[in-house]
Amino acid sequence: MALINAEPYSLDLDPLRAALIIIDMQRDFLEPGGFGAALGNDVSLLRWTIAPCRQLLAQARMAGLTVIHTREGHRPDLADLPPTKKACGRLPVALGDAGPMGRILVRSGDGHDIIPELYPMPGEPIIDKPGKGAFHATDLDALLKNRGIAQLIVCGVTTEVCVHTTVREANDRGYECVVAADCAGSYFPEFHEIGLRMIAAQGGIFGWIAPSADIIPALAEPGRSGGCR
């Protein structure tokens, strides 16, 4: 066990029972021409998360932590796309339509893929999720339980949407979550700040927050051997 200097108070991390989960670091959200841009967002506002995420990912891999990636997206036949989600935003180019990176937020399109900087290594589970939360309509809970995972280090985009929804889902399922504050991001900087504060407020109502610099030392617990689990 190793203490993470977190808010609202220190978290005792057990790297043997912890996983890093990287939420939706997809081209559709971080690069021009994807879903994030179709929603009217300035996607460049998310790019500062990439370098700290890379560092956290590298350290987690070196420590032998379970690393899980998620991707938001839908079946090519859109059978798992609620009409309400398709209608959201009344967009001229809607979800499922052709875009410069393939069909927007559809599995197998280029935009749906994870950005090259954070590309999964062979053996790292990828959770394809149709919703904002990574537990909804996925096998994430089974995967975590089967590996004995009880604590999640969470990063990715966006803070107030898919990161928040996943942390809330995880908290309700009994997982302890710490969000790596500099490794999550939003198209709305103020939502990022408030979103983090919402997690840690009220004694950590949904979880903990900490800078990645305070999480990384806890991964390299003395005596821990490397290698993927």
Q: Which residues are catalytic?
A: 24, 129, 162
The span of 6-14, 115-123, 141-149, 157-165 binding ligand TIU (CB under 6 A) equals 157-165
The span of 57-65, 80-88, 137-145, 155-163 binding ligand TIU (CB under 6 A) equals 155-163
Smallest gap from residue 105 Cβ to ligand TIU (A): 8
Distance CA 177, CA 150 (A): 9
Task: Give the one residue of 4, 7, 19, 24 binding ligand TIU; rule: CB under 6 A.
Answer: 24
Question: Binders of ligand TIU: how many residues, by CB under 6 A?
Answer: 10
For residue 147, what are the contacts with CB-CB under 8 A and spacing of at least 6?
19, 66, 229
Residue 72 found at the interface with ligand TIU (CB under 6 A): yes
Smallest gap from residue 161 Cβ to ligand TIU (A): 3
- Please say which residue, 24 or 31, places its beta carbon nearer to ligand TIU: 24
Amino acid residing at 227: G
Judge whether 65 and 219 are in contact, CB under 8 Å. yes
Task: Give the one residue of 59, 158, 166, 212 binding ligand TIU; rule: CB under 6 A.
Answer: 158
- Please say which residue, 25 or 153, places its beta carbon nearer to ligand TIU: 25
Nearest to 154 by CA among 187, 129, 185: 185
Residue 93 found at the interface with ligand TIU (CB under 6 A): no
Task: Give the one residue of 5, 14, 17, 39 binding ligand TIU; rule: CB under 6 A.
Answer: 39
- Please say which residue, 7 or 28, places its beta carbon nearer to ligand TIU: 28
Distance CA 134, CA 196 (A): 18
- Please say which residue, 39 or 78, places its beta carbon nearer to ligand TIU: 39
Could you list the residues that contact ligand TIU (CB under 6 A)? 24, 29, 39, 72, 132, 157-158, 161-162, 187
